[in-house]
Amino acid sequence: MCLNEYYTDGKLMGAKRTGKKPARFEHWKKIAIVIGIYDVVAVSVSYFLALLLRFDFRYSMIEVKYLEAWQRFALIYAAACLIVFALCGLYKSIWRFAGFNEFVRTLVVSLFMSAIHVAATLLFYCRMPISYYMIGAVLQCIFLLAIRFSYKAALFFFNSGGKKNKDRIMLIGAGAAGQMILRDINTGKSSGRVVCIIDDNSNKWNRYIDGILVAGGRESILDCVEKYRVNKIFIALPSATMAQRRDILSICNETDCEIKNLPGMYQFFSGQLTASALKEVSIEDLLGRDPIKPDLEEVFAFINGKTVMVTGGGGSIGSELCRQIAGHSPKRLIIFDIYENNAYDIQLELKEKHPDLDLVVLIGSVRDSRRMDQVFADYRPEIVYHAAAHKHVPLMEDSPCEAIKNNAIGTYKTAYAAMMHGCERFVLISTDKAVNPTNIMGASKRLCEMVIQSFDAKIKAGRADEIPALYLHKGSDGGFASQEKPSANCHTEFVAVRFGNVLGSNGSVVPVFKRQIARGGPVTVTHPDIIRYFMTVPEAVSLVMLAGTYAHGGEIFVLDMGSPVKIDTLARNLIRLSGLKPDEDIKIEYTGLRPGEKLYEEKLMAEEGLKTTDNKLIHIGCPIAFDTDRFLTDLGELIDVSYRNDPDIRLYVERMVPTYHPTYNGQRILPDPVVKEEEKSEETSAAQPLPVG
């Protein structure tokens, strides 16, 4: 770089540092000056032409007094018009988007100045012919409107005449939002044009909006796509329910068109509704239910000013919990995770968004009782959201002992540390896979729920001192430095939250499908009839946080997630949303159910029953009674079984969780010592007692 270049760059960098921007004359001001000059000429010429018309375009026939009056008043009137027009904002409109409001404002201001013209000539000059006033007023309106709407008209004719080979758009929705989108397409630089409109209001059928036919209701979509050769569909239905959107999207997905959707009412009410505001249709739009929107004010009031800890805070659910908690003034937020990369990412994000937040990020494992005791002793969290867990079903089927160590035993140790150090609320994040589990991951999460129920039952009975400290460390302290046994006065409230699959989470099937589509397929579905309940990350987090507020101890909160979604349908919709055809452009392969996988998931065991809350979509399951003393004893023995990596661990879990019925779907898991052992002697395995640690 030469010295001059360096000096120039230095000046520019200096300007950036001082915050000064180089002076620039905006383009719209240049346009305003041009229109202003035009207006001066137009208002003067309008009344001169009125004189000529009055005297049959014979200049020599115009009476001298009229000509002199016009000459003396023309410049004064033009200057007055310029001032009034500026005060009324006629030079600040964006004329490419001009509409009825701009038309009316220009017309009213023009007529007002015409009235001023009449009054001024009568008072200060001479009485002009009536036709002069009338013709002059009309011409003035025409000239003023012509310059302001000529650009819009030119764009309209260009779009309608010069884009015949470009995108042909079907607009769904003939309401105010649809009309705004249509106007933006007609006046903008879009490469397409609207060729037909669809609306379910039969009163609008076979009528026109800006020259575009309202061709019919949703039942006409497929016919109109073929008739008008549509290749894009814009859906402008901001007030439609999720069920209504789903029905329309299901029809649109049968076409090969690219589909875009108006996200919601915000852009409509904020006046930001343009074609560019439309977004690609997401798979969430096809779930067929309205999003859960609970009132979180009491949740945030509960969090305000308290120390909150999130285990597994770097995961998809945990990180969203941290985001929502951070925005509502906790005294301190503690993020605890074993994976440092995720923890670091959420740490950077929260520090940037909330620089005043007292944020502590700790690395460690919930399986380490001494580490958990140290964290709770040092920071004394008042609320704990326990999201740390192994969640991938096939992986846990191959490593069942790890599922028990991390999920069941890790939850126990974390809950025990919370109880020992006076935590107020402990919220376990569970899953619908804990209901009648057929895989070890679901069974481990059911064990977590039983841990929570056991702790709650003991505390409510005033027998918290009977809860044993389960650990593997040598020494009498058991890794808990504060005291050897819990106090009988413990007051921690333990609850669980159970929900289905989370769209957008690390374990969601949707990202897998998207990667497979991007590679050109095939998309792999385990079974054509497999169904799942789905919810979004914000919905899941809202429910988890509500549990911390509704809790009285021992509850299992359950979300009514609406109708389940067929995974095969989900995959096909994703392929269509990518502009491709299932089974033609992208093949779908059925791979068979994976080990431990069910065709359907249940939200609640039938014997639990349901109680409602203030939110009709959130329910409370009544806990199933079980022998907590026997459970705690068996859990202590299960630690020994899991840490010696016993190949028969599924048998021990099956005895502790009566609703757990492991299945292998006719597939051999290699290596899978459990199957091998069962093949040797099913009766012997069933009779084997729990080992004594």
- Indicate if the pLDDT at residue 3 is higher than 60: no
Residue count (the chain): 693
Tokens read off for 9? 């760059």
Residue 582 lies in a domain: no
Question: Which of the residue ranges 188-202, 290-304, 407-421 would you say has the lowest mean pLDDT?
Answer: 290-304
Banded pLDDT at 655 (limits 50, 70, 90): very high
My answer on whether 153 and 168 are in the same domain is: no
Q: Higher-confidence residue: 450 or 271?
A: 450
Banded pLDDT at 357 (limits 50, 70, 90): very high
Question: Which of the residue ranges 76-85, 123-132, 263-272, 570-579 would you say has the lowest mean pLDDT?
Answer: 263-272
Contact of 455 with 492, CB cutoff 8 Å = yes
Please state, as a whole number, how many other Cβ atoms lie within 10 Å of the Cβ of residue 289.
Answer: 17
Q: Which domain holds residue 174?
A: 164-281
My answer on whether 33 and 104 are in the same domain is: yes
Would you state the pLDDT for residue 419? 93
- Indicate if the pLDDT at residue 603 is higher than 70: no
My answer on whether 270 and 329 are in the same domain is: no
Question: Which of the residue ranges 22-26, 87-91, 596-600 would you say has the lowest mean pLDDT?
Answer: 22-26
- Indicate if the pLDDT at residue 548 is higher than 70: no
- Indicate if the pLDDT at residue 326 is higher than 80: yes
Query: What share of the chain has pLDDT > 70, as a percent?
Result: 74
Would you state the pLDDT for residue 601? 64
In 3D, which of 203, 190, 357 has the Cα closest to residue 278? 190
- Indicate if the pLDDT at residue 384 is higher than 60: yes
My answer on whether 363 and 252 are in the same domain is: no
- Which one of 18-22, 357-361, 503-507, 522-526 scores highest in mean pLDDT? 357-361
My answer on whether 314 and 273 are in the same domain is: no
- Indicate if the pLDDT at residue 172 is higher than 70: yes
Q: What is the torsional sign of CA 199, 205, 207, 211?
A: positive
461-493 tens-digit pLDDT: 888 888 888 876 544 444 444 445 777 678 899
Would you state the pLDDT for residue 562? 62
Q: Higher-confidence residue: 503 or 315?
A: 315
CA angle, corner 133, sides to 130 and 135, nearest 5? 100
- Indicate if the pLDDT at residue 27 is higher than 80: no
My answer on whether 333 and 383 are in the same domain is: yes
* Per-chain mean pLDDT for the chain: 78
Last residue of a domain, which of 111, 138, 157? 157
Task: Identify the H or E element spanning 146.
Answer: helix 130-162
Would you state the pLDDT for residue 244? 78
- Indicate if the pLDDT at residue 270 is higher than 60: no
Banded pLDDT at 280 (limits 50, 70, 90): low
My answer on whether 233 and 319 are in the same domain is: no
Contact of 390 with 464, CB cutoff 8 Å = no
Banded pLDDT at 373 (limits 50, 70, 90): very high
My answer on whether 493 and 618 are in the same domain is: yes
Would you state the pLDDT for residue 14? 43
185-231 tens-digit pLDDT: 776 555 678 899 999 888 889 888 888 899 999 899 999 999 998 98
My answer on whether 119 and 190 are in the same domain is: no
My answer on whether 259 and 331 are in the same domain is: no
Banded pLDDT at 129 (limits 50, 70, 90): confident
Tokens read off for 429? 């994040």
Q: Show Cβ contacts of residue 302 under 8 Å, excluding neighbours closer than 6 positions.
A: 383, 548, 549
Banded pLDDT at 507 (limits 50, 70, 90): low
My answer on whether 409 and 485 are in the same domain is: yes
My answer on whether 84 and 183 are in the same domain is: no
Residue 569 lies in a domain: no
Distance CA 601, CA 591 (A): 19
In 3D, which of 536, 674, 663, 547 has the Cα closest to residue 597? 663
Last residue of a domain, which of 248, 281, 314? 281
Q: Higher-confidence residue: 539 or 75?
A: 75
Residue 522 lies in a domain: no
Banded pLDDT at 305 (limits 50, 70, 90): very high
Residue 290 lies in a domain: no
Beta bridge partners of 667: none
- Indicate if the pLDDT at residue 544 is higher than 80: no
Last residue of a domain, which of 281, 309, 342? 281
For the whole model, what pTM was predicted?
Answer: 0.60
- Indicate if the pLDDT at residue 104 is higher than 90: no
Residue for token digits 């023995």? Answer: 637
Ramachandran angles phi, psi of 531, nearest 5°: -130, 155
386-413 tens-digit pLDDT: 999 998 888 999 999 999 999 999 999 9
33-45 tens-digit pLDDT: 888 888 888 888 8
Residue 373 lies in a domain: yes
Mean pLDDT for 374-392 is 94
Banded pLDDT at 689 (limits 50, 70, 90): very low
Domain of 318, CATH number, reads 3.40.50.720
DSSP collapsed to 3 states, 208-242: EECCEEEEECHHHHHHHHHHCCCCEEEECCCCCCH
Q: Higher-confidence residue: 10 or 517?
A: 517
Would you state the pLDDT for residue 487? 72
Would you state the pLDDT for residue 379? 95
What amino acid positions are annotated as catalytic residues?
Answer: 433
Residue 12 lies in a domain: no
Q: Higher-confidence residue: 527 or 281?
A: 527
- The number of distinct structural domains making up the chain is 3
Distance CA 201, CA 176 (A): 13
Would you state the pLDDT for residue 682? 39
Query: What share of the chain has pLDDT > 90, as a percent?
Result: 25
Would you state the pLDDT for residue 1? 41
Mean pLDDT for 146-159 is 67
Residue 7 lies in a domain: no
Residue 467 lies in a domain: yes
